[in-house]
Structure 1
């Protein structure tokens, strides 16, 4: 039990992430480009799950997808490489903050 406790993935709710937007956190959205274009968090970078293995964040990074499943996988990959990663629970399905349709 303790082993899992120390290896658990840090996570935040979409409301907690929204409260941090003024700090301009590094956010990666691991959905596919067509999903990202349909609406994403302002300032988020599109890094599809298939590219998470080669992504190099600078400092703490928040990972989001549509529901939370892909972001958890991507966060696990990045954390295993030693990065400071936070998974966003519920994903864009739970996001009620500002969104932007956008560019890649």
Structure 2
């Protein structure tokens, strides 16, 4: 009856993520390795979307980012089904204004 509630994916903006950045959070960048190499959040770990099903690290909350927010939403949904506390980052790297490692 209320299945739409189960499909809701928790998300935050890139600004909210930037305000939470510390050594204590886990960020997964689900873009391809070449996209990741072109510039990424310094503490983000690259786990491309096509490999997210194999992710099995024991961590607390995971923040998931991609280029625009589409792939990260898919990855967040998959990880939540596996029992992870995963949160999608809306807008992705297209809207990220914080520090970047690699790339340009």
Gaps of 5+ in 2: none
- Alpha-carbon shift at residue 59 of structure 1 (Å): 1.3
* Corresponding residue SS for 2:22: helix
Q: How many residues align?
A: 102
* Corresponding residue SS for 1:77: helix
* Corresponding residue SS for 1:22: coil
* Corresponding residue SS for 1:88: strand
Gaps of 5+ in 1: none
In 1: Cα distance, 2:88 partner to 2:8 partner: 11
Match of 2:61 in 1: 60
* Corresponding residue SS for 2:93: helix
Q: Deviations over 1:35-78 (max 9, x none)?
A: 00110001100000000001024111000000000001111110
* Corresponding residue SS for 2:88: strand
TM-score (norm 1): 0.90
- Alpha-carbon shift at residue 8 of structure 1 (Å): 1.1
1:88 correspondence with 2:94? no
CA contact (8 A) 1:24 1:43 kept: no
TM-score (norm 2): 0.90
Name the Cα RMSD after superposition.
Answer: 1.6
In 1: Cα distance, 2:35 partner to 2:76 partner: 19
* Structure 1 residue runs of 4 or more that deviate by more than 4 Å after TM superposition: none
In 1: Cα distance, 2:2 partner to 2:96 partner: 32
Match of 1:79 in 2: 80
